[in-house]
């Protein structure tokens, strides 16, 4: 289905839970666990219904996210039920990979196509600092397992944080040389109240690209064609197995190419990541959901308001309550 601005909306990001086993400093407050009642959250059946209706309206790609999607009870079943829905071509997941070692095999067998693993540092002490609760080795084990089971695509998502991981940009880029993994650098977004990091920590994507070009040399960095619907600017180190991607929601927004809507774990459709507009579908029949999904697609703004440290996201939610 097309929105008011003739963008074809094919991609639904589904947050399965607001809960997380980490507490990344830019994403959620330390005590920011879900305060909502169980009855307020989407049931597994409601989520599957919403995806079935969305598929009828032209959604072909689903990304499961959270909070941490691997904490969701029955996650493997959920994936396999989504895969059975007519019209759904791809089921993807964004995860911190802490539990991936345990689930990767079953997820692959259930039909999960692609996996994005969030990883902001390759150093144990810094991992502990940024995630407040995590152990780097758990995520690295999850990444290895993902490679072993062979998902169609594996990406690492790294949030650029000046003064924290800008000294590791080249190390992350090097991962793509020998492994079939894409590394994508994402600009830090000033969300609702999650900011442990202020304006000084913001690093525009072109600075990261510049560092990579300086290190590897201009002749060794090739520009690549973007996959359809992808919001990343793609590059490749010569002869590398994976790509480098740069996602710049702040410095260079990509609203003109936006092909997505979002469903939160408490059953609200979000036409735009950075707007407070939410459309409730929790508790509705599939017919009623259909009307609401159409409404959400029509409600997509042409672009979001300015996003900066003086004009923070208008989302009124932290990222763990949206799903990224």
Binding site for ligand SAM (CB under 6 A): 20, 26-27, 65-66, 68, 94-96, 118, 157, 159, 186, 188-189, 191, 194, 319-320, 323-324
Closest CB to ligand SAM: residue number: 324
Binding partner of residue 188 among ligand SAM, ligand SF4, none, CB under 5 to 8 Å per kind? ligand SAM
32 neighbors 318 (Cβ within 8 angstroms): yes
Rounded Cα–Cα distance for residues 275 and 256 (Å): 16
Tell which one of 15, 81, 118, 121 touches ligand SF4 (CB under 6 A). 118
Residue 195 is a binding residue for ligand SF4 (CB under 6 A): no
Residue 22 is a binding residue for ligand SF4 (CB under 6 A): yes
Rounded Cα–Cα distance for residues 198 and 190 (Å): 8
Q: What is the 3-state secondary structure (H, E, C) of 68-137?
A: CHHHCCCHHHHHHHHHCCCCCCEEEEEECCCCHHHHHHHHHHHCCCEEEEECCCCCHHHHHHHHCCCCHH
Residue 23 is a binding residue for ligand SF4 (CB under 6 A): yes
Give 103: exposed, middle or buried? Use CB within 10 Å, 0-12, 13-18, 19+: buried
Among residues 124, 156, 159, the alpha carbon closest in space to that of 25 is found at 159
CB 28 to ligand SAM: min, Å: 8
Instruction: Choose one: 19-27, 54-62, 224-232, 286-294; the region binding ligand SF4 (CB under 6 A).
Output: 19-27
* Count of residues in contact with ligand SF4, rule CB under 6 A: 13
Residue 138 is a binding residue for ligand SF4 (CB under 6 A): no
Residue 67 is a binding residue for ligand SF4 (CB under 6 A): yes
- CB proximity list for 281: less than 8 A, separation 6 or greater: 46, 50, 263, 267, 268, 269, 288, 289, 292, 293
> What are the C-alpha distances in Å from 140 to residues 92, 146, 149, 232?
19, 10, 14, 24
Buried b (16+ CB within 10 A) or exposed e, 154-191: bbbbbbbbbebbeebbeebbbbbeebebbbbbbbbbbb
CB 54 to ligand SF4: min, Å: 23
Instruction: Choose one: 17-25, 169-177, 212-220, 241-249; the region binding ligand SF4 (CB under 6 A).
Output: 17-25
Nearer to ligand SF4, 83 or 126 (CB): 126
Binding partner of residue 191 among ligand SF4, ligand SAM, none, CB under 5 to 8 Å per kind? ligand SAM
Binding partner of residue 272 among ligand SF4, ligand SAM, none, CB under 5 to 8 Å per kind? none
Beta pairing class for 61-65 and 153-160: unpaired
CB 36 to ligand SAM: min, Å: 17
Binding partner of residue 156 among ligand SAM, ligand SF4, none, CB under 5 to 8 Å per kind? none
CB 41 to ligand SF4: min, Å: 16
Token pair listed for 61:
């790609």
Tell which one of 28, 250, 258, 293 touches ligand SF4 (CB under 6 A). 28
Tell which one of 46, 68, 101, 290 touches ligand SF4 (CB under 6 A). 68
Applying CB under 6 A, which residues contact ligand SF4?
A: 20, 22-24, 27-28, 66-68, 96, 118, 319-320
């Amino acid at each position: 289905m097309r929105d008011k601005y003739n963008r074809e909306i094919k991609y639904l990001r589904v947050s399965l839970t607001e809960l997380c086993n980490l507490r990344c400093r830019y994403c959620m407050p330390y005590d920011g666990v879900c305060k909502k009642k169980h009855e307020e959250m989407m049931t597994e059946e409601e989520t599957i219904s919403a995806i079935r209706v969305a598929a009828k309206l032209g959604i072909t790609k689903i990304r499961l996210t959270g909070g941490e999607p691997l904490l969701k009870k029955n996650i493997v079943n959920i994936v396999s039920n989504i895969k059975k829905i007519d019209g759904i071509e791809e089921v993807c997941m964004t995860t911190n990979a802490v539990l991936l070692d345990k689930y990767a095999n079953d997820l692959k067998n259930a039909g999960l196509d692609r996996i994005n693993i969030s990883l902001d540092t390759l150093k144990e002490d810094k991992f502990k600092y940024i995630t407040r609760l995590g152990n780097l080795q758990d995520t690295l084990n999850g990444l290895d397992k993902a490679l072993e089971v062979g998902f169609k695509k594996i990406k690492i998502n790294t949030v650029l944080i000046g003064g924290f991981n800008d000294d590791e940009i080249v190390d992350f880029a090097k991962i793509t040389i020998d492994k079939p993994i894409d590394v994508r650098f994402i600009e830090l977004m000033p969300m609702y109240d999650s900011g442990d990091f202020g304006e000084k920590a913001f690093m525009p994507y072109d600075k990261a690209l510049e560092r990579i070009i300086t290190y590897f040399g201009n002749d060794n960095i090739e520009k690549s064609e973007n996959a359809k619907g992808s919001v990343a600017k793609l590059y490749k180190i010569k002869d590398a197995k994976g790509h480098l991607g740069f996602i710049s929601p702040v410095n260079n927004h990509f609203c003109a190419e936006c092909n997505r809507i979002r469903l939160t774990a408490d059953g609200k459709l979000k036409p735009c990541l950075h707007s407070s507009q939410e459309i409730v579908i929790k508790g509705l029949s599939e017919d009623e959901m259909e009307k609401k999904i159409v409404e959400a697609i029509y409600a997509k703004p042409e672009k979001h308001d300015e996003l900066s440290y003086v004009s923070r996201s208008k989302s009124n939610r932290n990222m763990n309550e949206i799903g990224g």
